Amino acid sequence: MIYLIGDSHTIMYRGIDPHEIKPVHFGACTAYSLMTEHSITNSFKNIKKYLLENNIDLSDVLIFGFGEIDCRVLIYYKHKKYDIDLKDMIDIVVYRYLSAIYYLKEKWFGVKVAVHGPIPAVKQRNEYKLEFYADEFTRASINDYFNIKLRYICNKNNIPYFNTYDFLYLKGKDGIIPIESLLPDLVHINSDKVPIKDDFKQWLRECKFLKD
């Protein structure tokens, strides 16, 4: 079985191929806190529990799909609140994320892992009235750098990487996903209007995770 474990962006793959691909939504989890023992979402505890309950073994594939919330909210917030250089903050998140992936891979005896890159920046404004929230241009820059850094390290370590930036229907000219490709919440991809499911399945075949 192929398990796509991630935040709410996994919902765009619901119904994709239930016999071979299983999207698993773990809530509003961040890449930054993925291996934090007592995070608000308890993502670390919940993921380990899920993997144990589903008897994950070497025949399975774990694809990690976190990072969008970090790019949209967490990175800029911590950058401003704690006066951390923006690129340094992105680097911190990427390394914490990959550390969690490596830990889980080792814990499950070398199970196959891959990464689903975060989607490009979205249109949502500061809906939650956060003290610090970046403008669209800055959020697009954060997403771009995060994606480049994460993809580079994954490629260097032979971790398959699904790059959402490959698809022009997602990355608009300004680096923001066009509004017509989003659901009304302006955060999630409308997979009924764009062929992201087909592109994801094609990538899985190229990785030999999914048979033709």
Contact criterion met (CB below 8 Å) for 35 and 16: no
Q: What is the pLDDT confidence band of residue 27, given thresholds at 50, 70 and 90?
A: confident
**Do residues 70 and 43 make contact, with C-beta atoms less than 8 angstroms apart?**
no
Closest CA to 185 of 119, 95, 125: 125
Edge-to-edge strand order for the sheet containing 112-116? Answer: 21-25, 2-6, 61-65, 112-116, 161-162
Contact 8, 25 (CB under 8 A): yes
pLDDT of res. 109: 83
State which fold the 2-206 domain adopts.
Answer: Rossmann fold (3.40.50)
pLDDT digits (tens, 9 = 90+) for 129-176: 888 989 989 999 999 999 999 999 999 999 999 999 888 778 777 888
Q: Which 8-state DSSP code applies to residue 195?
A: -
24, pLDDT greater than 90? yes
Instruction: Point out the least confidently predicted range of 14-18, 37-41, 63-67.
Output: 37-41
Residue labelled with tokens 């006066």:
83
